[in-house]
Amino acid sequence: MPDFRVMYNRQKKWIFYLLAIYVLGWGFTTYHTIFLGLILGTCFGFLNLLLLVRKTEKFDKQVSEGKKPRSLGSLSRMATAGIGAAIALKYPEYFNVFTYVIGLMTSYIVIMIDYFYNAMHQHK
C-alpha cells in the first residue's frame, strides 16, 4: 500500500491549485458569494482530508502493532463539515451554501482523480 503522506502531499498540491483558481475567480468576477462558498467548502474539505490521513496513519500503526484499532474519526469530520455549514448559513450574504457543499466534496473528488491517475500510470 502506498504511503499515505505521499498521496496526501500530491492531493494537497492539487487542492491548493484549485484554491488559487477559486481566489482568482473571487477577485476577478462578480460571483463573490459563489467563489467564497467554494473557498470555504474546500478549506473545510482539506481539513477533513488532513484528519482522515492522520487517523488512517494511526489506524495503520495500531493494526501493524497487533492492537485493536479505533474508528477513523467520521464523527470529527462530520462535525467540521457542520461547523462550516453553520458559518455558510449564518452569513448567506457572503457564502453560497450550495457551492460550500461542492467545495466540501472537492477533496474527495481529488482523491478519486488522484487514484485513477496513478492507477493508469502504474500499469504502463
pLDDT in tens, 32-78: 999 999 999 999 999 999 998 888 888 888 888 888 887 778 899 99
pLDDT single digits (tens) 8-32: 899 999 999 999 999 999 999 999 9
pLDDT single digits (tens) 97-120: 999 999 999 999 999 999 898 888
* Residue-level pLDDT at 39: 98
Contact 114, 14 (CB under 8 A): yes
**How much is the pTM?**
0.88
Q: How far is CA 34 from CA 12, 20, 22, 82, in A?
A: 22, 15, 9, 19
pLDDT at residue 2 is higher than 90: no
